Chain A
Amino acid sequence: MTLGEVFRVIRRLVVGGIAGSLAYPVDFVFYMLGTIIGPIIAALVWRAAIAAGADLPVDAQYITTYFVLLSLVSMLSSAWLSMFMADTIRDGRLNVWLARPGSFLYEMAANNIAEKAVKLVILVPMIAIFAWFMRDSLTLGVAPWRWGALLVSTLMAALIFFWIDVAMGSLGFWLEDISGLEWGRSLLTRLITGQMIPLVLFPAWMQGFLHVQPFRYTVSFPLEIVVSNLSAQEVVTGLGVQALWTALFVIGGLSLWRRGLRSYAAVGA
């Protein structure tokens, strides 16, 4: 398939995916409520600590803006395909896709894009309400180039998570059950991506590791572009490092997927 044909296939799958998602609007409202509840609670708790005189390395503006934007960035960068992929491989439903000219990964990518489009429409008003309540210490008036860099960084973050999920799901070619690994991954990523706590709040002795590890570039770094005082030079360097991690995860995920396909013995064949 040519690149144009691939895009055309994905576009059609996205349209179908959006139509499918719209069949469950209430579920999506609940999912997005679930996405925003964590950041709201975290923001309130950390603001209470600051109000009680906690001497944090960042101020209330940083904390508030970070958590208001967190649900948006974490939703846009997230992927949820690994378990579904592993199940599809295990029970042989992958056979259907092997007989088609387009890859199963196109369907996974289209599902990711389609659901994010629906989620975005629901999540943005929720974030707007959250932001309105937190308006006393919200700082969104940063230079436009920072918003552009945030967008680029979030797109790369989405690619990193997508290909990590492809790699995890591809383990289904060799393992019966990946739920334990998946659970461990989700617990680890909650901690070191910045989804739970801004990385800057971790102790100084952890900062070196947290700064270089790839998961920083999935949630924390995109947010740092807007909420912290990173210079233009630091942002460009960070985007460069993020691009390298992205390339690494794309290559790693694709290699695992292709190796798995070669070793696949179809169930029911």
Chain B
Amino acid sequence: MDANQIQTSPLDPTTWAAVRRHARLWRAFVAISLVREVQFRANALATLLVGVAQLVVSLVPILLIFSFTGAVHGWSQADVLVVAGFQQAIVGLLAAFIIPNMNRISEYVERGDLDVLLIRPVNAHVLVATRWVRPAELFSVLSGFGLIAIGLIHRGTMPSAIGIVQALVLFAAGFVLLASAWSVVATCAFWTSSMSAGTMVFGDLMEPGRYPVAFFPRAIQVFLVAVVPWAFASTFPAEALTHGLAGWRWSVAPLAIAFAVVAVAGSHAFWNRAIRRYSSASS
């Protein structure tokens, strides 16, 4: 079986069977991670405390800015707290499911460990991207949702049902977009040998997601839509919850889904291109 394609094989008579087998595999990875997390309870507790402390510290600039003004470009403090909540939740999801895997790609390439992964009867990209899970990081997702609730309560308005649906769709699409972008950055390790510093920089680019894109100049806004798509992951979901995406802005949600599909296909194609030039460090 070609390690880079989910396709029919003696193991999987249909594509759907292949998808189901990979889903079962991922479920097993999650189960193993949960067992590991239970074994290292102190570490899980430390991760929880770190997440809460980082959230508190990260809110200091927002609290200070709004001690000097009531609104910035139409965004009140409550609105920005909702944006920061979505950012926190996305970062938690990335830290739980994506970052532990992306940080290892450089090691796989440098040490030749990828050889062992390529010969397994599963899609290598799926395996590399999903093997490691850190369930304790999901506390950050909860604290992010808590922050969104605080922002909405502080605002004093209830989001509409359609606004909630739009926000959830955008949040999911934003997560897929950011995960795909991170995958592309990590996959560059096939050309540069090591991308650990590059993925570290991508981590620094999580920072602007805490603020609405309207806070930034036009060029940065384009960057936050097209390159590191925080607009879809935090600003638009917050806008959907707080104001609703009416008029032409309604189209942002289906557009985000389309972008997410293209991003997944693009990152997978990039991986396939990278894997073709891999010549094993261990042989």
Chain A residues proximal to chain B, CB less than 8 Å? 24, 26-28, 30-31, 33-34, 37-38, 41-42, 44-46, 48-49, 52-56, 180, 183, 187, 190-191, 196-197, 201-203
Contacts and interface: CB of A to CB of B under 8 A. Distances in A.
| SS of A interface (majority) | helix
B192 A54 contact: no
A165 B208 CA distance: 30
B61 A45 contact: yes
Contacts of B208: 41
B197 A38 contact: no
A44 B220 contact: yes
On chain B, which size bracket covers the interface? 20 to 34
B47 to A, nearest CB: 11
B61 A197 contact: yes
A37 B208 CA distance: 9
B282 interface: no
Given A33-B201, A37-B207, A44-B215, A54 B69 contact: yes
13 contacts: A27-B196, A30-B198, A31-B197, A34-B200, A45-B215, A45-B216, A49-B69, A49-B72, A52-B71, A52-B73, A54-B68, A196-B57, A197-B61
Main secondary structure of the interface of B (DSSP, over half): helix
A201 B72 contact: no
Contacts of B53: 187
B65 A44 contact: no
Contacts of B119: none
B265 interface: no
A202 B64 CA distance: 7
B211 interface: yes
A187 B217 CA distance: 29
Nearest to B193: A26
Nearest to A28: B197
